[in-house]
Structure 1
Amino acid sequence: MKHTLLPVSEFTGRRQQFFQQMPENSVALFAAAKEVTRSNDTEYPFCQDKNFYYLTGFNEPDALLVLIKQKDQDELVCQSVLFCREKNPMQEIWHGRRVGPELASGEYGFDASFACEEIDELVPKYLEGKSQLMFCQGADEAFDRRVLNWNSQVKATVRQGGKAPAVLVDCSSIIEEMRLIKSPAELDIMRKVNRISGQAHQRAMEKTAPGKFEYQIEAELLHEFARHGARHAAYGSIVAGGDNANILHYTDNCDALNDNELLLIDAGGELAGYAADITRTFPVNGKFTKEQKAVYQLVLEAQELAIQAIAPGKTLAYLNEITCEHLTRGLHGLGILTGDLDELITARACKKFFIHGLGHWLGLDVHDVGDYQVDKKRQQLRSFEPGMVMTIEPGLYIPLHDVNEDVAAPVDEKWRGIGVRIEDNILVTENGYENLTVNAPKTIEEIETLMAKAANAHATAAGQ
């Protein structure tokens, strides 16, 4: 299960960074994920707990990381301890190799390693005499109960002189802030997974044609991810033809692709735990209609406007403001929105058709951790800093049938069934931004040229 592309020093450095934020005489606990049964005796593909992985690089289930910060003879000592599954030849024959406690310390840079079977005996001893106990509270109720039970065991020894941590600290915010700023090594992986995912979107465009099914295009995406080392999709791929694009989290991917309709694909690979999250929308037959082109170009302009405004000190609230104004002006110009333009802009009238947020943090999780600093008006006021990575993904959605349609100002039939979203992954740099999504065709000309070339190649091959 070892799949990290990062050096051990990356993980030991993160643990040192976390130690610096731990109070003296404290213990922090981080649990690995458990395998999850899919059906009877088969499991879902294993996905490690992201906070645990961030601090360890260790990719086996059932493990536990213990970080201890205490004084020893007036010297402040920081110690990292891993509990993991023991080597077991019979289990490894059936289910795959294990690292084992004997090798874990050397391979992953821990100060000590023990078998999982020793957790309940040793963890209470680590808690004894400590002032504070830190863990990510609420992430896993079963683990929360286990932590409280260990602490209760220490409390039960008070008459024998035992002393349990009196303060329980939720350390989620500490590690989330660490994860929000990416290191150079992390960014190298995110560039790679973006390139892989961009190639997958290219392949999808080349393979799309009327009469194919959404699941066939999904298969092309997964093929391209895997053959470049991104063994898994970062999330359930959205391959939504026609009006299905107006279902934001559509993952059925079962319908036929029809001529003169658009195909919206929201898909990204996962590489060494890091996600890409890219969306492209393109015509099934390779040629935008007049109406499709108008809506698509409006979304593209809004996205580019937002991306070009990214720089340290800017906020998602500001990007939302300029994006919504541009989309509202554009929809008014197309006649999709009617009324006084200034009033429409003030009311952010585009939100009837742009029904989700503009973007989110990206990293080990697709919707990555990190405080957005949302105010009472739900504005995201967190100032951008170098090393942050986010998605920028404006969209417009005009369903065939809208139960909430304003009968006084219905949308013209020619716009019905159009759903467009365009999404790139953006790094905040010292002087502005870097678009990590470099090879997924995005302009109308790029898309139509690529698809025409693929169609001609297919026709030539079929005629031979």
Structure 2
Amino acid sequence: MFSKETYVHRRVRLKKNVKSGLILILGNNDSPMNYPSNVYHFRQDSTFLYFFGIDLQGLAGVIDLDNDKEILFGDDYTIDDIIWMGPQSSLKEQAARVGITETKPFSALQQTIAEALKQNRTIHFTPPYRGENIMLLADLLNIPHGEVSNRSSLELTKACIDLRSVKEACEIEEMERHMATACNMHTTAMKLARPGITEQEVTGAIEGISISGGGMVSFPVICSVRGETLHNHYHGNTLKDGDLLLVDAGSESPMHYATDHTRTTPVSGKFSDIQKSVYQIVLNANDLAREATKPGVPYRDVHLLACRVIASGLKDLGLMKGDVDEAVNQGAHALFMPHGLGHMIGLDVHDMEDYDDTLVGYDEEIQRSSLFGLAALRLGRRLQAGFTITNEPGIYFIPALIDNWKAEKKFTNFINYDKLEAFKGFGGIRLEDDILVTENGSRIMGERIPITVDEVEKIAGKEL
């Protein structure tokens, strides 16, 4: 937990950005795996964490804008709870740690909301994503559960985005401190990447490192020799000579701030000549994108720069042809990189994506494209100092997409389909860093995980 003043200040700023009514911020509860008392690892709602900071189940916060009141709703633990859980702080003690003086039983939340509704006051809440909270909101608001998401407050959502986009010094410190765990995860994966080991063994090892570092993984681990599948969560393959192992994995810090990195390692210990050539193109795109990442620059422009670097490199290999700028303008390069360059990262690995990533990543000036590839860019708006973002270019050879575009004769003036046949078993390469936008430019957060060809080959397949 940060200092009490941090949470008080955040709520003060929020109250200035939302005009009137009640702000309702629900915490999360335990979610059963297969019977009620066997639950998934608890993860508190990120909005609740940001404004109230208490990492416990069964809570809700209300900010009464018209009467300048802040109330924490929850229940004290019973003796039966304490038998199983040990001594616990009271609700009032928890509230005091984040600057809240008024507490009420959770059952009183219904009456508080009902009274506000009788007075025709607005109840502000961000878009819910868990079924339990959707049903609770339906009960509180006396509306069908199917209408709940449509009743969420755009005013509150935009206010939260405005506050959470620019990270405070304490948040940056928390994220940077946890980068050491992320580095250990990825260097361990590189060392384990050798013939005969399974993807599941690598996955299990790095998940264990994340837990040992104080937090769960920030998203399901992507660890695959079939790296051309962008979000590949299948871990059943056995690594063999000639494979490339793509590992996209992150860890949550003890305060739930995420890391998110990707590295691609040659299972043979050395890249083949063609693997090295494609790898270097992706690394060039990563480095040049980071150099272009500065306050005031639209991240869409940085994305397009990375795409031009990739298209130019593929042209040098004979896989693309024609005018590089025009190829990128029309989206021909997206055959090889059908995703965006990066996204916000913070309390969520795709920070604030529960609010709607278009609201988070775009604004009235820069709106989301509908062009294949560019449409997948989650962050397009102008960067500001204090943004924490990912930089993750990649090149992928996706057989189904190659066959589809070839059959449709798409971009035949930019793509050499005949030469692509030999690359259908290549896989994919992605290289991802977490970046802090500074006052004058940007920098990698924490110590950079080994990434150059020489650095990766020196560590690949080595003993732990």
TM-score normalised per structure 2:
0.85
CA deviations over 1:395-423 (Å, ceiling 9, x no partner):
11114565425267231415732310001
Q: Which of 217, 221, 242 is the matching residue for 1:237?
A: 221
Q: Greater CA deviation, 376-385 or 442-451?
A: 376-385
Structure 2 counterparts to residues 196-215 of structure 1, below 5 A: 196-215=181-200
Cα drift, residue 168 of structure 1: 8.3
Partner SS state of residue 396, structure 1: strand
The verdict on how the C-alpha distance between 1:130 and 1:8 changes in structure 2, with shifts beyond 3 A counting, is: farther
The separation in 2 between residues aligned to 1:376 and 1:439, in whole angstroms, is 31
On the 8 A contact 1:302/1:327 being kept in 2, the answer is yes
Partner SS state of residue 232, structure 1: coil
1:85 corresponds to: 75
1:366 corresponds to: 349
Cα drift, residue 260 of structure 1: 1.5
The separation in 2 between residues aligned to 1:309 and 1:238, in whole angstroms, is 28
2:315 corresponds to: 332
The separation in 2 between residues aligned to 1:427 and 1:232, in whole angstroms, is 23
Cα drift, residue 122 of structure 1: 4.0
1:56 corresponds to: 52
Q: Which of 156, 164, 172 is the matching residue for 1:187?
A: 172
1:282 corresponds to: 265
2:284 corresponds to: 301
Partner SS state of residue 15, structure 2: helix
Identical pairs, percent: 26
Q: Which of 25, 28, 52 is the matching residue for 1:30?
A: 25
On the 8 A contact 1:79/1:111 being kept in 2, the answer is no
Give 1 or 2: higher strand fraction.
Answer: 1
CA deviations over 1:83-111 (Å, ceiling 9, x no partner):
11322121233356643323223233212
Cα drift, residue 79 of structure 1: 2.0
Q: Greater CA deviation, 212-221 or 374-383?
A: 374-383
1:113 corresponds to: 103
Cα drift, residue 118 of structure 1: 2.7
Equivalent position amino acid for 1:194 in 2? M
Equivalent position amino acid for 1:110 in 2? I
Equivalent position amino acid for 2:44 in 1? Q
2:84 is the alignment partner of 1:94:
yes
The verdict on how the C-alpha distance between 1:422 and 1:96 changes in structure 2, with shifts beyond 3 A counting, is: farther
2:439 corresponds to: 430
Equivalent position amino acid for 1:20 in 2? K
The separation in 1 between residues aligned to 2:193 and 2:153, in whole angstroms, is 52
Q: Which of 346, 349, 361 is the matching residue for 2:332?
A: 349
1:156 corresponds to: none
The separation in 1 between residues aligned to 2:265 and 2:439, in whole angstroms, is 34
CA deviations over 1:229-253 (Å, ceiling 9, x no partner):
2x20000001111xx1111111121
The separation in 2 between residues aligned to 1:152 and 1:236, in whole angstroms, is 36
The verdict on how the C-alpha distance between 1:197 and 1:376 changes in structure 2, with shifts beyond 3 A counting, is: closer
The separation in 1 between residues aligned to 2:269 and 2:313, in whole angstroms, is 24
The separation in 1 between residues aligned to 2:264 and 2:430, in whole angstroms, is 6
Q: Which of 246, 263, 266 is the matching residue for 1:264?
A: 246
Cα drift, residue 448 of structure 1: 1.0
Greater relative contact order (CA < 8 Å, ≥ 6 in sequence): 2
1:70 corresponds to: 66
On the 8 A contact 1:137/1:144 being kept in 2, the answer is no
TM-score normalised per structure 1:
0.85
1:221 corresponds to: 206
Equivalent position amino acid for 2:246 in 1? L
Q: Greater CA deviation, 421-430 or 340-349?
A: 340-349
Alignment gaps of 5+ in structure 2: 144-150, 353-359, 408-415
Equivalent position amino acid for 2:397 in 1? I
Cα RMSD, aligned residues only:
2.6
Cα drift, residue 358 of structure 1: 0.8
The separation in 2 between residues aligned to 1:262 and 1:216, in whole angstroms, is 16
The verdict on how the C-alpha distance between 1:325 and 1:189 changes in structure 2, with shifts beyond 3 A counting, is: same
Cα drift, residue 361 of structure 1: 0.7
2:322 is the alignment partner of 1:313:
no
The verdict on how the C-alpha distance between 1:203 and 1:151 changes in structure 2, with shifts beyond 3 A counting, is: closer
Cα drift, residue 60 of structure 1: 1.6
1:461 corresponds to: none
The verdict on how the C-alpha distance between 1:23 and 1:340 changes in structure 2, with shifts beyond 3 A counting, is: closer
The verdict on how the C-alpha distance between 1:143 and 1:294 changes in structure 2, with shifts beyond 3 A counting, is: same
2:147 corresponds to: none
Larger Rg: 1
The separation in 2 between residues aligned to 1:399 and 1:127, in whole angstroms, is 53
On the 8 A contact 1:292/1:418 being kept in 2, the answer is no
2:305 corresponds to: 322
